[in-house]
């Protein structure tokens, strides 16, 4: 008996295992690991993924698979295994893990079309009838004419046909006719000779092909030779040439692929950094590198040349970049180097475009993918390197199930393919740098900028003294002066305003005091409703003070300024300045991000004002001043990584100035100029920051000294979820040793979302097995409530958001 093991497309605990189905005779050969099938499940028909084929089952009387959806596997064997690993690692449903690996188009409604790649004569009779002379026709025609599934699968493998998914809606697939030689070049010469002086037009065409034997667009050929279609048709008739239809991909970056760049000759620092990577590539050895290079030190060039090395060996490369920096600037650098070998995957593409890009990878038409987080699942089968640029970015962690971190997936795939993984950053995470210090990762350093200029000088402005001087404007005297200076010189300015944490923390404008939780060393958050301050971690609470507990000033208030307000202030103070504002509001439309940056790049504006989305990756020649309006806004977030994030952001944004000939300068406005992350960022002292922050993490027991997992419960009933949260804590405590620290239960910082009340527990731990065991136990414990859809429980390893 032929049996398929299937993961069913229902995300529920009771269904999260493999189900056996019999493969009926007519589907044998078509049902392969990695294809999706339709199976009966209870009274319903549902979709499922085939993970493996076997010849027996421990169950009797299996149900049969109804049909296959894919004739080419959508998941490789490696990805099937990876989904199992993700399920275990993140405690998610297997089906969620599998779906995370595929483009969203597979979840939407789509139609299937059959494309004939061969001449009709080469096809079985039934196909001719089904095709009715069409080259592309609906898949249903095959079913109507009872063409067996196994035959479809075989013909795809033989390259005679293809089956393509048409995502509903716009974006039809484009195909164009190419003409190519049907005979080899030697034969061609003979044919030309035989033609002699007859058929001049045909001869002209053939002579063209003898010089340029590649396939060429029909229209282009006609234009080039200033001929008509008829000699071409005649040659096709004689089977000397043939027509082929080729798919024209929707390629949003097609326009800017004109000129190709060559490898730059590396600086000495770059050379010593790249050598160990090359060695690892050459020796097919998995190794994780942490490439720590200051902004503008030429990390990207190292990525490009490592990829070149990998491609020379016929292997493939994945490059992850944070969503936000997937601007044309970054993509263009890869496209300019590797041309059509590059696929791009990011969220600004339409579903159809994303599917096209994914398909290029699946069909091995490209060997490099540049993309955001989920590109780590690119279905390459011969990976030679995985690169994660700006490895400290939080967007590499997925907040929905499966709650995976792309870095961990990259390392998993690196081990499978025995290839290097390169993590690059000017400000690595503490976790990564700590691993590099312990030689778990190999540290590679670029200490200087390529242009051999010093990093821009950073001036810290104490906004408290500005207030004393009577300056109530958003811009300090120094920043005002410098903006004016750049405007006069026609140089450009980048202004950063961090909106994250907007208005939620309380600070004294006189002395910079913020209110911290006594137990957690974390800023307390203002809750408007009860006019109280709360700690998000331990739930401690206090009333909102009327005066500053430190200096007794009454200038204590919630902190925050919006980009719009800053824009107004700029316009009022610098009448002639042309300002481009970039924040979620101005960049929500598709392509807006690129458009605004394009305008700034062409010098159509003087000031680029934005939120953290402007902090990284930008490389504009004319930017000589960077201003940070309020460096504090991030420092006091209820997050143990607040200092780290501030340090990263300040370093990144400073790196935008003076990247080319003109020297740069940075002004950082702050109410807490003495804070170590401000001071050390202004000195570009990463090492110093690392030591300092590690001390703090050690004292309070945060990562990288402990691992963390956050367990969240939500329910419509406040009383019940409160009870369950206590139960949760008790159950967890039963199975945790002294080594682990259990925090909570406590209401989540956002107590109610969508009418559900939320509570949480946090575990700091050293050994994952112990925690996995405890968590499996609570999953089992709350199974009933969860299955009844009343209780929702989420488990988030290595959490980034605590709200």
Annotated binding site: 508, 511, 517, 520, 535, 538, 548, 551
Q: How far is the CB of 301 from ligand ATP (least distance, A)?
A: 4
User: How many Å apart are CA 795 and CA 13, to the nearest integer?
Assistant: 14
Is position 270 an interface residue for ligand ATP (rule: CB under 6 A)?
A: yes
Is position 617 an interface residue for ligand ATP (rule: CB under 6 A)?
A: yes
Helix (H) or strand (E) holding 293: strand 288-293
The entry of ligand ATP, Zn ion, none near residue 10 (CB within 5 to 8 angstroms by kind) is none
The entry of Zn ion, ligand ATP, none near residue 619 (CB within 5 to 8 angstroms by kind) is ligand ATP
What tokens were used for 5? 């093991």
Is position 655 an interface residue for ligand ATP (rule: CB under 6 A)?
A: yes
- Parallel, antiparallel or unpaired: strands 492-496 and 623-628: parallel
Is position 664 an interface residue for ligand ATP (rule: CB under 6 A)?
A: no
Among 99, 153, 300, 677, binds ligand ATP (CB under 6 A): 300
Q: Which is nearer to Zn ion, 537 or 600 (CB)?
A: 537
The entry of ligand ATP, Zn ion, none near residue 517 (CB within 5 to 8 angstroms by kind) is Zn ion
Which residues contact Zn ion (rule: CB under 5 A)?
508, 510-511, 513, 517, 519-520, 535, 537-538, 540, 548, 550-551, 553
Among 280, 297, 432, 514, binds ligand ATP (CB under 6 A): 297
Among 9, 89, 301, 796, binds ligand ATP (CB under 6 A): 301
Q: Which of residues 210-269 bind ligand ATP (CB under 6 A)?
A: 264, 266-267
Q: How far is the CB of 542 from Zn ion (least distance, A)?
A: 11
User: How many Å apart are CA 775 and CA 407, to the nearest integer?
Assistant: 23
Q: CB–CB of 577/484 below 8 Å? A: no
User: How many Å apart are CA 694 and CA 686, to the nearest integer?
Assistant: 12
Q: Which is nearer to ligand ATP, 266 or 577 (CB)?
A: 266
Q: How far is the CB of 297 from ligand ATP (least distance, A)?
A: 4
Supply the DSSP string of 512-544, one letter for each residue: --B-B-TTT--B-EEETTTTEEE-TTT--EEEP
Any residues with CB less than 8 A from the CB of 276 and at least 6 apart, and which? 287, 289, 442, 444
Is position 299 an interface residue for ligand ATP (rule: CB under 6 A)?
A: yes
What tokens were used for 376? 């780590």
Is position 662 an interface residue for ligand ATP (rule: CB under 6 A)?
A: no
Q: CB–CB of 570/607 below 8 Å? A: yes
Q: How far is the CB of 450 from ligand ATP (least distance, A)?
A: 4
The entry of ligand ATP, Zn ion, none near residue 550 (CB within 5 to 8 angstroms by kind) is Zn ion
β-bridge mates for residue 21, sequence order: 4
Q: How far is the CB of 324 from ligand ATP (least distance, A)?
A: 12
> From the CB of residue 713, how many other CB atoms can be counted at a distance below 10 Å?
27
Q: CB–CB of 369/318 below 8 Å? A: yes
Q: How far is the CB of 500 from Zn ion (least distance, A)?
A: 20
Q: Which of residues 436-455 bind ligand ATP (CB under 6 A)?
A: 450
The Cβ-side half-sphere exposure at 672, using a 13 Å CA radius, reads 18
Q: Which is nearer to ligand ATP, 395 or 723 (CB)?
A: 395
Strand ranges of the sheet holding 44-54, from the earlier edge strand across to the other edge: 18-22, 3-8, 44-54, 36-41, 67-68
Cα first-last separation, the chain: 52
Q: Which is nearer to ligand ATP, 274 or 793 (CB)?
A: 274
Q: How far is the CB of 533 from Zn ion (least distance, A)?
A: 11
Length of the chain: 803
User: How many Å apart are CA 667 and CA 458, to the nearest integer?
Assistant: 6
Dihedral sign of CA atoms 768, 773, 775, 779 in order: positive
> From the CB of residue 644, how many other CB atoms can be counted at a distance below 10 Å?
22
What tokens were used for 553? 């000033």
Q: How far is the CB of 305 from ligand ATP (least distance, A)?
A: 9
Is position 306 an interface residue for ligand ATP (rule: CB under 6 A)?
A: no
Burial of 207 (0-12, 13-18, 19+ CB in 10 A): middle
Q: Which is nearer to Zn ion, 118 or 511 (CB)?
A: 511
Q: How far is the CB of 303 from ligand ATP (least distance, A)?
A: 8
- Parallel, antiparallel or unpaired: strands 506-508 and 525-527: unpaired
The entry of Zn ion, ligand ATP, none near residue 296 (CB within 5 to 8 angstroms by kind) is ligand ATP
Is position 658 an interface residue for ligand ATP (rule: CB under 6 A)?
A: no
Q: Helix (H) and strand (E) counts for the chain?
A: 25, 33
Q: CB–CB of 321/330 below 8 Å? A: yes
> Which residues participate in the annotated binding site for Zn(2+)?
508, 511, 517, 520, 535, 538, 548, 551
Residue corresponding to tokens 């309020």: 630
The entry of ligand ATP, Zn ion, none near residue 733 (CB within 5 to 8 angstroms by kind) is none
What tokens were used for 568? 């107004």
Is position 673 an interface residue for ligand ATP (rule: CB under 6 A)?
A: no
What tokens were used for 457? 């000088």
Residue corresponding to tokens 């329910």: 715
**Which of these segments, 55-63, 180-188, 239-247, 296-304, binds ligand ATP (CB under 6 A)?**
296-304
Q: Which is nearer to Zn ion, 312 or 552 (CB)?
A: 552
User: How many Å apart are CA 582 and CA 564, to the nearest integer?
Assistant: 10
Q: How far is the CB of 659 from ligand ATP (least distance, A)?
A: 6
Q: Which is nearer to ligand ATP, 270 or 712 (CB)?
A: 270
Is position 293 an interface residue for ligand ATP (rule: CB under 6 A)?
A: yes
Q: How far is the CB of 448 from ligand ATP (least distance, A)?
A: 11
Strand ranges of the sheet holding 342-345, from the earlier edge strand across to the other edge: 342-345, 368-371, 316-320, 383-388, 421-425, 288-293, 442-446
How many residues lie near ligand ATP (CB under 6 A)?
Answer: 17
Q: How far is the CB of 383 from ligand ATP (least distance, A)?
A: 22
Q: Which is nearer to Zn ion, 464 or 486 (CB)?
A: 464
Q: How far is CA 615 from CA 449, 608, 609, in A?
A: 18, 11, 10
Among 162, 323, 336, 619, binds ligand ATP (CB under 6 A): 619
Is position 612 an interface residue for ligand ATP (rule: CB under 6 A)?
A: no
Q: CB–CB of 679/635 below 8 Å? A: no
The entry of ligand ATP, Zn ion, none near residue 610 (CB within 5 to 8 angstroms by kind) is none
Contacts with ligand ATP by CB under 6 A lie at 264, 266-267, 270, 293, 295-301, 426, 450, 617, 619, 655
């Amino acid at each position: 008996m032929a049996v398929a093991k299937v993961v069913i497309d229902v995300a529920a605990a009771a269904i999260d295992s493999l189900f056996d189905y019999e493969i009926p005779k007519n589907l044998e050969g078509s049902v392969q690991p990695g294809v999706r099938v339709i199976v009966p499940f209870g009274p319903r028909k549902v979709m499922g993924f085939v993970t493996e084929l076997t010849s027996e089952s421990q169950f009797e009387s299996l149900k049969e698979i109804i049909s296959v959806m894919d004739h080419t596997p959508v998941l490789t064997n490696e990805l099937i295994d990876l989904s199992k690993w993700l399920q275990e690692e993140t405690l998610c449903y297997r089906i969620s893990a599998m779906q995370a690996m595929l483009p969203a188009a597979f979840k939407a409604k789509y139609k299937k079309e059959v494309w004939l790649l061969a001449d009709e004569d080469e096809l079985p009779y039934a196909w001719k009838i089904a095709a009715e002379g069409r080259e592309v026709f609906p898949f249903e025609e095959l079913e109507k004419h009872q063409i067996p599934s196994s035959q479809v699968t075989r013909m795809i493998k033989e390259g005679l046909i293809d089956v393509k998914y048409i995502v509903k809606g716009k974006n039809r697939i484009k195909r164009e006719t190419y003409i190519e030689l049907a005979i080899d070049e030697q034969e061609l010469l003979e044919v030309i000779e035989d033609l002699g002086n007859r058929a001049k037009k045909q001869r002209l065409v053939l002579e063209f092909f003898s010089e340029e034997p590649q396939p060429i667009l029909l229209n282009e050929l006609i234009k080039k030779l200033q001929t008509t279609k008829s000699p071409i048709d005649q040659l096709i008739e004689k089977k000397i040439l043939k027509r082929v239809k080729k798919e024209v991909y929707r390629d949003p970056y097609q326009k800017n692929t004109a000129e190709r760049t060559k490898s730059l000759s590396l600086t000495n620092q770059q050379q010593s950094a790249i050598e160990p990577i090359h060695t690892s590539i050459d020796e097919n050895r998995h190794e994780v590198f942490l490439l720590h290079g200051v902004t503008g030190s030429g990390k990207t060039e190292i990525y490009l040349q490592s990829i070149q090395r990998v491609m020379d060996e016929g292997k493939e490369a994945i490059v992850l970049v944070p969503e936000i920096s997937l601007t044309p600037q970054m993509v263009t650098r890869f496209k300019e180097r590797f041309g059509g070998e590059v696929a791009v995957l990011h969220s600004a593409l339409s579903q159809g475009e994303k599917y096209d890009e994914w398909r290029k990878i699946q069909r091995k038409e490209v060997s490099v993918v540049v993309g955001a987080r989920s590109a780590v699942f690119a279905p390459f089968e011969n990976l030679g390197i995985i690169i994660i640029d700006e490895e400290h970015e939080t967007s590499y962690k997925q907040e929905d199930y499966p709650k995976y971190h792309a870095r961990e997936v990259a390392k998993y795939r690196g081990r499978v393919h025995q290839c290097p993984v390169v993590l690059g950053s000017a400000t690595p995470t503490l976790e990564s740098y700590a691993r590099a210090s312990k030689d778990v990762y190999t540290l590679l350093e670029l200490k200087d900028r390529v242009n051999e200029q010093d990093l821009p000088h950073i001036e810290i402005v104490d906004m408290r003294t500005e207030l004393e001087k009577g300056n109530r404007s958003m811009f300090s005297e120094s920043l005002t002066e410098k903006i004016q200076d750049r405007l006069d010189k026609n140089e450009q300015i980048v202004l950063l305003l961090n909106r994250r944490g907007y208005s939620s923390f309380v600070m004294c404008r006189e002395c910079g005091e913020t209110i911290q939780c006594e137990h957690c060393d974390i800023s307390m958050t203002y809750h408007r409703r009860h006019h109280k301050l709360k700690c998000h971690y331990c739930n401690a609470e206090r009333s909102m003070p009327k005066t500053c507990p430190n200096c007794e000033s009454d200038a204590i208030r919630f902190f925050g300024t919006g980009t719009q307000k800053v824009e107004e202030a700029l316009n009022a103070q610098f009448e002639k300045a042309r300002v481009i504002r970039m924040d979620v509001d101005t960049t929500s439309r598709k392509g807006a991000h690129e458009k605004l940056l394009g305008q700034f790049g062409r010098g159509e504006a003087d000031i680029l004002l934005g939120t953290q989305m402007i902090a990284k990756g930008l490389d504009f020649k004319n930017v000589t001043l960077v201003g940070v309006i309020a460096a504090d806004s991030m420092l006091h977030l209820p997050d143990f990584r607040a200092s780290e994030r501030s340090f990263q952001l300040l370093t990144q944004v400073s790196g935008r100035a003076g990247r080319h000939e003109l020297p740069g300068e940075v002004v950082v406005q702050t109410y807490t100029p003495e804070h170590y992350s401000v001071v050390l960022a202004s000195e570009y002292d990463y090492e110093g920051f690392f030591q300092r922050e590690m001390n703090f993490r050690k004292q309070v027991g945060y990562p990288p000294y402990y691992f963390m997992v956050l367990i969240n419960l939500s329910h419509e009933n406040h009383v019940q979820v409160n009870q369950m949260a206590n139960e949760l804590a008790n159950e967890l405590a039963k199975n945790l040793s002294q080594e682990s620290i259990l925090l909570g239960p406590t209401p989540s910082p956002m107590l109610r979302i969508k009418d559900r009340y939320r509570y949480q527990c946090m575990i700091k731990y050293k050994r994952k097995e112990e925690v996995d065991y405890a968590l499996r136990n609570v999953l089992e414990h709350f199974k009933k409530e969860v299955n009844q859809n009343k209780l929702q429980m989420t488990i988030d390893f290595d959490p980034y958001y605590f709200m």
